[in-house]
Structure 1
Amino acid sequence: MPKFMLSMKEKPFAEISSEAKNRGVTVQELLRAVIVPEWARENLQPSNIPQPSMQITPNQTKPSMSSRQRDSRLAITVGQLRT
C-alpha cells in the first residue's frame, strides 16, 4: 500500500486534532476517512490525457548477452566476493 508523510504547522494541526477529538477518532483516522477523500473529490479531476500503454514481449528476439558470457561474469563476481 502506498504511503505518504504529511507535515503541517501547529495551528492547522490543532484544528484537525480538535475536530478529530470532537468526532471521537484519531487525527490519522480523520485524515484517512474524511479530509483526504474530500480533498481528492474537490481537487483531482479525471485526466483526459491518454496514458501510454506498455507491452511486454514474451520472448526477446535477440538476447542481450549469451548464457556463456553471463555465467563467466557471474563466476568472476562471485570469485571477487570470496577474496
Structure 2
Amino acid sequence: MEIINKSKEKQEEQWQLGDVLEDKEEHKALIVKNNNGSYCLMDISPESDMEGRYSTKAGDIYDWPYSSLDELHSINSGGWHKVNAKLVIE
C-alpha cells in the first residue's frame, strides 16, 4: 500500500486573500492585506508568541509585504503551500 499526499504535488496553486498556507516547518500563515494595501503572510501559528501573532506589522509577518498577490506567490510558492482550513467561531 502506498500513501500519497496530493496537496504537496500541486505545482500551480492559485493563492487568494484568506487562504491558509503552511511551510516546511509547519508554520501557518494567512494571506491578508496590511493597512497600506500590501499583501503579506500573517502569522497564525498556534505555537507562536501571542504578541506577534495576528499582526500585519513589518516585524511580525513572514517575509515582506508585496504590492501584488502574484508577486507574493511567485516569491514564496517554493516554501509555502495551501492547506485546507476552516474558521470555527464558538
Greater per-residue helix proportion: 1
Relative contact order, higher structure (CA 8 A, sep 6+): 2
Per the shorter chain, which TM-score range? under 0.3
Greater per-residue strand proportion: 2
TM-score by length of 2: 0.21
Q: Which has the larger radius of gyration?
A: 1
